[in-house]
Amino acid sequence: MCVRCRIKMGQKSRKRSEFALILLQLLTLVSSAPPRCDSGQYFLGRCKPIVEEKPKCTDLLLSYCDDMAYTQTMFPNIVGHKTREEVELGTEYLLLSVVETLLGGECTPDIRMLGCSVLAPRCEKDKVLKPCRSICEAVRKSCVHAFEGIDMAWPYFLDCDRFFVSDQEGCYDPLEGLRAEEEVEAFSSAPPEDSSTMIQFTYHSNAQMNSIIKKTEARCSDIATTYSIGRSVEGKDLLVIEFSNNPGEHELLEPEIKYIGNMHGNEVMGRELLIYLIQYLCSEYLLGNERIQTLINTTRIHILPSMNPDGYDMAASGVEDSNYADEEGPRYDTWNIGRNNAQNIDLNRNFPDLTSIVYSRRRHKGYRTDHIPIPDFYWLGKVAPETYAVMKWIRSIPFVLSANFHGGDLVVSYPYDLSKHPLERNMFSPTPDDQVFKFLARTYANAHETMANYSEWCGSSRDSQGGIVNGAQWYSFAGGMQDFNYLHTNCLEITVELGCDKFPAEEELYTGWQENKEALLTFMEAVHRGVKGIVKDEDGNGIKGARVSVRGIRHDITTAENGDYWRLLTPGIHILTASAPGYTRAMKKVHLPARMRKAGRVDFVLQKSVLEPDTEEDDINIPSMGTYERFDPYNHFERYAAAEMTQIQEQRAEKPWWWNYFVSSGGSAPTWLLRHY
């Protein structure tokens, strides 16, 4: 090869090597450049390495968090908000700004301060400190019921496990400033004289009522528990609170009593009295009131403040509207607004009419007035969900005594409510337990401050004597709750009319409490009158469903699950008989002195025998009615209730009343606020 050719080949080889080296350098430079710059920007010298600045403490400038015990915070915060502006535009901060109003002032400012500890966390030495999980759990336990009361979920950013840490991890108390204020207030203020000073004698919305019930349960957790017996037409919980030294369980020989208020939504005094009573029982028990402690330790007390919460909402709205009427012009007639439920059903006419069945059979040999089965045709009619819930409730618990609170007059009425003569609407129509019912009615009326001496009638109770009246003699109607209690269960119920005004002015509520407080307590104590005992077999086992009868009273009661029973009786001499299928009868004679305040103990031991046909036992099964255990056999209620609820849900907004407020603020819909999403 010639020399010139070798030179040319060498030059080409060098050029290729130089080009490869330049390309390698370019690739190295491009690969090491900041990711946000492309190669063109880099060659122009416009790219500079970006150094990420570490977050630093900054002043806490959120107005709803200005009372926190610290002044420095840091962004991003614990839930990821990058700036103060982002926090202020978020639904979380909006919730903190209105939570006091939404919860009716309850749990204030605890919830707001707890939320601030997450949205604007404490910062020291450029480091975020997280709030204590134990504080979060304590607040959640005492306040979650308030959110449930307005059908709102517990806020996700107050999740105690996600955003709070344990004491061992170096947490701080987010309520530190609040505790300092409470210590000053506790030091400077004297303790209240009695529990009445802690009760707010005002009207309560359904949410506020449920909140008080749940708060009382939390405050007196050793003696109180709550449960729902069902829902109203519009889906509101029918919430019951129970007081007992062993809440949630039936105890052997411990009698059970119930109070029901607001059956008619516009008759509200009873509802408020029961809300006050709930708080009073809890407070007085904790204060060491011996009378209240004895009552709760020996009795199982169930209180349903509102059987008709939908009707109450309507009645409260009607009264509020009437307040805007011209004082000199005609006022709106609010007398019956909200009386019925949301289906326009009068709940005190909606129970099975068992009284007519008793009247139709009273000439039959061996007819009975107890544990009358519900006829199948009843289920073909319209049964309100509130009625259905109460019927299942009283069938599931061995109630002994009950009172149902109304308004529009000042009197205690007792069964029967239906006249024994179809053409006489004001005829005295007594039950076999007429003397017992009169005693119970007088117990309440005499303990009331004015009822027994009331001389100016505001209703139709002109036939009352000493503040009590037979229901049918007052005015006759079928399908009432107190007749159903008596004829279908062991429970004896009276109806208490609390005053002339169905929806009195708020300033009259305290007076109503003072007039009825003693009567409410005295009537509960009356559940311990008469006799109680256990019906056992020869092996000492309790006999469930045994019958205890009293000579001269054609109305038996039956034993509970473990064979225990309670029979309310007036003072005197009584002959009791206990019987059960497959056992011989046992009889005892008892004497109840007039001054005896506690139930006498009368036990029975039944011996086994050959089961023979008993015409009296067969009488339980009334033709076309089936047995006592037969309850909604064809599931009629469930079928029509499901269809009607679907229709109602289509007609009304499915979201809670507060939902539009959060949606209208812009941004994505905060579905985390919905309990049932």
Residues that are catalytic: 497
> Quick count: other Cβ atoms within 10 Å of Cβ 121?
25
Closest CA to 617 of 561, 584, 579: 579
> CA 101 from chain center: how many Å?
21
> Quick count: other Cβ atoms within 10 Å of Cβ 317?
13
CB-based contacts of 301, cutoff 8 Å, min separation 6 = 242, 243, 244, 256, 257, 258, 259, 281, 295, 524
Closest CA to 88 of 658, 659, 665, 664: 665
Which residue carries 């003569």 as its tokens? 421
User: What token pair was written down for 581?
Assistant: 């299928």
Which residue carries 């802690």 as its tokens? 198
Dihedral of CA atoms 374, 378, 384, 388 in degrees, nearest 10, equals 20
CB 523 within 8 A of CB 468: no
Closest CA to 556 of 366, 377, 320, 352: 366
- DSSP code for 107: T
Q: Give SS3 for 127.
A: strand
What crossing angle do the helices spanning 269-287 and 206-219 adopt, rounded to 10°? 20
Beta bridge partners of 414: 470
CB 480 within 8 A of CB 389: no
CB 495 within 8 A of CB 501: no
CB 629 within 8 A of CB 544: no
Beta bridge partners of 553: 550
User: What token pair was written down for 114?
Assistant: 């707890």
CB-based contacts of 95, cutoff 8 Å, min separation 6 = 115, 155, 662, 673
Which residue carries 């030091």 as its tokens? 187
Closest CA to 391 of 76, 78, 628: 628
Distance CA 141, CA 218 (A): 8
Which residue carries 């812009």 as its tokens? 666
Distance CA 308, CA 648 (A): 17
CB-based contacts of 368, cutoff 8 Å, min separation 6 = 554, 555, 556, 619, 620
Strands 572-579 and 409-414, by their bridges, are unpaired
Q: Give SS3 for 126.
A: coil
Report, in angstroms and rounded to the nearest whole number, the Rg of the chain calculated over CA atoms.
36
Q: Give SS3 for 675.
A: coil
Q: What are phi and psi of 28, to 5 degrees?
A: -65, -45
